[in-house]
Amino acid sequence: MKSDVAPALANGPAVIPTDMPTSNRPMNMGQSMNDNTSRLDGIAKITGSAKYSSDMQLPNAVYARFVRCPFGAASLESFDDAAARNVTGVIEIEITPKACQYNGQPVGHVVGDSPIAVDRALKALKLNWKKAAVKTTIADTAKVEVPQGSVDGADVTVAAVYSTPVQTHSSLETHGGVVDHKGDRATVYASTQGTFSVRDGFGDALNLKTSEFEVICEYIGGGFGSKLGGPGKELMLAAKLSQQLKRPAYVMCNRAEEHLDTGNRPSSVTSVRIGLKKDGSVVGGEVQTYGGVGVATGGGGCNVPSGRYTFANVNKKHEDVSFNAGGPRAFRAPGRPQGAFAEELMLDEAAAKLGMDPLDLKRKLAADDVYRAMMEQGAKLIGWSDRKANGSQKSVMRTGYGLGVAGWGSASPGGNAEVVIHQDGSVESRTGTQDIGTGQRTTMAICCADAIGIPLNLVTVKIGRSTLPVGPGSGGSVTSPTTAPTMMNAAAQARDKLFEVLAKQGGDNAADFSMKDGAVLKRGEKFLSWKDACARLPADGVMGSASTGDRGKGDSQGVQFVKVVVDCETGIIHPKHVIAIQSCGRVICRKTAESQIIGGVIQGLSYGMFENKILDRNVGAMVNPNFEWYKILGPCEMPHIEPVLWAHGQTGVKALGEPPTIPTSGALACAVFNAIGAPVRHLPLTPDKVLAALEGAGA
């Protein structure tokens, strides 16, 4: 397998990623800075040489876990402190009894020499709880009703209630990390979406100056928003223990804790009444949304109307509803998937009442021509012309088609980046920004190599450390739009400084020099090889640094089409094909961009079909805090997903992380509606709900 790239990683030997093109997506070729390079850390990850925070089992470490409430509302009345302290290997037990308001709320912690000692101590505590009454859903507090009556001036009115469940983040690597405090300095191994938010969030917890400790997050096992916002209670506990005991402290959530107390996408209820003219124009209506925020007081926003469709005179009200559950945290496109599910299905129901093809209705209502052009291309790729009218199929296996749209703003370039060109011809690309799995390490190398004009194998990437130049947190789809222009600017500065050295030595002007095919040109003619040019540098090389760059203009827009087959005897939905068209400005790396889109679709399908944090209505405990009963999309349910990189009119690097997961569940619900002839208005679209809808439709 041919490859001419062998970049060295910051913490390991050189790896050789494949440059084999992805043959089944030819439409995306030639639309990026780099079409064929695979992730530079791919081999390190699949071979296990990449070390995550959870892998940092340091010598002489202590281990800790929180003592947590097992009910939705309860008070800790007693516990056997003596029995727990008698467990071999237990170092510390600290418990502060209090009234708890959600399953998983901490009341203290246990510290031991090993995870086994901690687990045994937790069992030996024999916690005695007094349960209290609980509320577990939005409906326990809010009175949700289907709006009555027609809309003035409307030919048809759609009135319905839609709902979405609580979705947990389910990152492969759980929350937490390791703190190794050595008295006068410390190292923090953090599973985080923000190297510098962790650094700045410790305050006095480490009793050290910022310059006296380093946060390291070379590899992170996923993060969809919940690992933003600082150290979190896990790392704060580790900092306290390591400083106190002068030993490394390991505090990582287990899978159940991850479901219970690390945030979520909040549940939602959307009550709508919307009126339309026969031509499909919206004349008015009302939307009342509710966000289920658990013990929090906010964060339950539901983005409908989204602004991606043109609605006239539609009034919006929102209310956040608290109940006995953990609060939300940022989750990939906060509020958008909930709103898109209701908005897309509502419009398909309106189209059915009008006797219109939903593609025609959505094309008419689309906020701009970009969406309309994307719809036209996507309809051809999915085979929309084969779509049959809603409910017209009588067979057991029925095929349905649906579509949804997405949009997301872009960020301004910022943070800091450095590029160093060394005397031996090697190049360092430096930014403290972390790579949470999206390909930041790879895109930084490409930006650096492309801006200088050298082969990728000459670039070493250093990221994910608080001692490197300050970079943004990975949230809000800002990472690439923020760092890519900055890195390209820093690389161009370093290249120009090399030219200045060459010009000074030869009595030329720096403007006389340029790069082509990895060689230095002077006034358009080949002058020196890259290696020979760098050999003329001083011993410490030259460095370029930047804190800004050119901003991508406009939103990142997308349209998705979903094709499903529904088994009307079992109610099981079989997704078959997804077309995901997405603009994201200037594409840096085709493969990682396609991967972002595919991943967003997978998460959207999983949200639409399976995911649901279920609370026992009597005691408020989560009944499925695992991956056996908290179901996520797996290989058996995976459709063929085609990411399409929309290049028309695109300039600058724009957002890509969030938008691909926004429309998927709504498009899926529309496809099911088309197949069976009845809407399923409540996620997840489980077989029982499909069968109930079929029965209601007279099937």
pLDDT tens, residue by residue, 620-676? 999 999 999 999 999 999 999 999 999 999 999 999 999 999 999 999 999 999 999
Mean pLDDT of 182-211: 97
Q: In 3-state terms, what secondary structure has residue 251?
A: strand
Domain positions in the chain: 339-410+553-696, 412-546
Q: Is domain 412-546 classified as CATH 3.30.1360.120? A: no
Alpha helices in 612-686 (DSSP H): 664-676
Mean pLDDT of 470-474: 95
Which long-range contacts link 510-517 to residues 24+ away (Cβ below 8 Å)?
514/453, 515/452, 515/453, 515/454, 516/453, 517/453
Other C-beta atoms closer than 10 Å to the C-beta of 560 total 35
Tokens of residue 547, six digits = 């804190």
Mean pLDDT of 540-544: 98
Does residue 571 register a pLDDT over 60?
A: yes
Quote the pLDDT of residue 23: 58
Angle (deg, nearest 10), helices 336-354 and 358-365? 120
**C-beta separation of 247 from 62 below 8 A:** yes
Q: Using alpha carbons only, what angle is made at residue 285 by residues 279 and 291, rounded to the nearest 5 degrees? A: 130
Nearest partner of 510 among 486, 542, 540, judged by Cα = 542
Question: Measured between alpha carbons, how far is 302 from 161 in angstroms, rounded to an integer?
Answer: 14
Tokens of residue 524, six digits = 């358009």
Does residue 552 register a pLDDT over 90?
A: no
Fold that domain 339-410+553-696 belongs to in CATH: Aldehyde Oxidoreductase; domain 4 (3.30.365)
Nearest partner of 581 among 325, 422, 378, judged by Cα = 378
| Peptide linkage before 305 cis (omega within 30 of 0) | yes
pTM, whole model, 2 decimals? 0.95
Does residue 12 register a pLDDT over 70?
A: no
Quote the pLDDT of residue 553: 84
Give the start-end residues of each E strand in 117-166: 128-131, 156-164
Q: Fold identical between 339-410+553-696 and 412-546? A: yes
Quote the pLDDT of residue 25: 82
3-state secondary structure 512-523: HEEEECCEEEEC
Quote the pLDDT of residue 686: 98
Quote the pLDDT of residue 22: 59
Q: 1: exposed, middle or buried (C-beta count within 10 Å: 0-12, 13-18, 19+)? A: exposed
Q: Using alpha carbons only, what angle is made at residue 532 by residues 528 and 533, rounded to the nearest 5 degrees? A: 65
Which residues neighbour 82 within 8 Å (Cβ) at sequence distance 6 or greater?
A: none
Question: Measured between alpha carbons, how far is 621 from 323 in angstroms, rounded to an integer?
Answer: 12
